[in-house]
Amino acid sequence: MPTKPTAPAPEEDPLLAALERAPGGAPESEDEQRLVAAAKVEDRFTRAADVERMLAARARGDGDTTAFLTELGRSQAQAGDLTGALATLERGYALAKKANVDPVQGGDARFGLAQALVRKDAASRRARDIAREAEETFQKGEDASKVSEVRRWIEEHP
């Protein structure tokens, strides 16, 4: 009889770690709980799809999911799913462009997308343009350390 895979600990799995840090806290609905349970036993890419479905359900009621999308996208990139990461980070970027998003969250979303775009294409002009947007957004949020980090990154990726 085949055994079910055991769930990785959140500190071992960046997708689960991102899920635990998601806005809104623990899963509330039965569907969200089912998705989390599935996420813990399925392969990495299925988990990402399940997490995104849960995210869509949360977004209908919460709207501000920029930080979660950024974390999820970075986790997908770290796991080797650059295509999925770019799709997720593009969604976060679209939300970040809304006027009511916290500047630090907006800057993180922009910077995360810029970094992923460069991983896909080292010569991406769009990546640099978005990184400059991130720098300006962090300046609005008065986050000097993030401004410095983005400036260093831009210098390293001319």
Residue 26 is given by DSSP the state S
- CA torsion, points 27, 30, 34, 35, in degrees to nearest 10? -50
- Alpha helices (runs of H) in the chain, residue ranges in sequence order: 14-20, 30-41, 44-62, 66-78, 82-96, 103-120, 125-140, 144-156
pLDDT at 26 over 50: yes
* Residue that has been written with the tokens 């509330």 in this structure: 28
- pLDDT tens column, 55-64: 665 554 444 5
What domains lie within the chain, and their CATH numbers? 11-156 (1.25.40)
For position 63, what pLDDT does the model report?
A: 40
Low-confidence winner among 11-25, 65-79, 89-103 (lowest mean pLDDT): 11-25
Overall pTM surpassing 0.85 (yes/no) = no
- pLDDT tens column, 101-155: 788 888 999 999 999 999 999 888 999 999 999 999 999 888 899 999 999 999 9
Phi, psi of 128 (to 5 degrees): -70, -40
